[in-house]
A = this chain, B = another copy of it.
Amino acid sequence: MSSGLVGPVEVVGTGLLGTSVALACRKAGLDVLLSDVSAEHVRTASALGAGRPRGAEDRPQLVVVAVPPDHLGAAIGAALDASDPVTVVTDVGSVKSGPLAAVRDHPAVRRYVGGHPMAGSERSGPLAATADLFEGRPWAVAPHTGADADAIEVVEQLVGLCAGVVVRLDPADHDRAVARTSHVPHLLASLAAGRLADAPADHLKLSGQGVRDVTRVAAGSPALYGQIVTANADAVLGLLGEVRGELDALIAAVSAADGDALAALLEQGVAGTHAIPGKHGGPVRPTASVFVSVPDEPGVLARLFAAAGESGVNIEDVRIDHDLGRAVGLVELVVDEASGEHLLASLESRGWVTHR
């Protein structure tokens, strides 16, 4: 039906994700129609330049459903009901099987292709939105077996227009994938963080960077995350069952001081960290870390990065260690392994206090 995404695009739900999609479409010059149960959200999103309220005569080419997880299935069904026989419907929900099941028997289901951009923020609502939110991020496109090829093409063009990177998975695979790479890690982070909630303050003084990293995602919204996990219950429960078995094995190994069994469990974790794809989707490249002690004052990072920049080395990652009781910070610069010694020597020659 379509030789490309030309608009209009309707966005249903003008929160962070919906308004960000709308802004990206506007930036590309498409006509964007906005709908939300909150008229105020539509006004805010319109004022931000994300589009205009949908009118009765409007005929969108593509409807993007961006409502909370609990309302996805109904909203996708309503979009299929209300639209022209050629309108494509997609969504940006975190889970794909449940919404699909809700519309599986809809006569227009071939025009629905689920999607899920791996982007977000601790913030929510249209004011947090930006046209660049999806830039370089994976965006799952999860067509069901009966989906029209043209509809899939339109949705993948939306991803390209938002500068996302298409990862094609079928809906059940998608849900298993995010259970493993997002939902279960989040739940385990919550269990680790939960143990800190009532800990003596003196004990927490020994907190280092490790526990901060492990627990960071657990600060996310319980209401939103509860909906997401519940909507992906099957895949999450499958993995939580595995976790429970491994936890029992771990408890048994520690109880019995069985070093071999414990090492095997820890080795599996090491293998898992190595399985995560590297930056830019390529294989993991070996890196070196250069640590630098810096005073905690404005401008010091600018001077440090200027010094690193003069060495011509590309900084792959940066971590700042939060120190306790002293106005000094430890900055870890992660670089390609081959560049580590050069950066170290270069920074030392410029008077920085470095450690390997």
Contact = CB atoms under 8 A, between A and B. Distances in A.
Contacts of A178: 206
B185 A280 contact: no
A296 interface: yes
A353 interface: yes
Nearest to A232: B254
A56 interface: no
Contacts of A230: 254, 257, 259, 262
Query: What is the copy number of this chain in the assembly?
Result: 2
Interface string A201-215: 111111110111111
Interface in A187-237: 187-197, 199-208, 210-220, 222-223, 225-227, 229-230, 233, 236-237
In the A-B complex, the 3 residue pairs with the smallest Cβ-Cβ separation, listed nearest first, are A190-B269, A193-B272, A302-B309
Contacts of A324: 136-138, 165, 167, 277, 280-281
A3 interface: no
A105 interface: no
Given A206-B181, A214-B188, A326-B163, A225 B266 contact: yes
Contacts of A239: 195
A190 to B, nearest CB: 3
| Chain A interface, >50% SS class | helix
A37 B329 CA distance: 35
Contact of A312 (B185, B298, B322): B298
Nearest to A331: B318
Q: Pick from A195, A220, A246, A269 the residue with the most CB of B within 10 Å.
A: A269
B250 A191 contact: yes
A132 interface: yes
Interface stretch (A5-13, A60-68, A79-87, A115-123): A115-123
A301 B305 contact: yes
Interface residues of A, number: 143
Interface in A303-342: 303-310, 312-320, 322-330
Contacts of A229: 254, 262
Interface in A261-280: 262-263, 265-280
A351 interface: no
B206 A118 contact: yes
A216 B208 CA distance: 13
Contact of A270 (B123, B218, B243, B296): B218
A226 B225 CA distance: 33
Interface string A45-89: 000000000000000000000000000000000000000000000
A222 B270 contact: yes
A119 B196 CA distance: 20
A215 B185 contact: yes
A345 interface: no
A229 B291 CA distance: 27
A234 to B, nearest CB: 10
A203 B190 contact: no
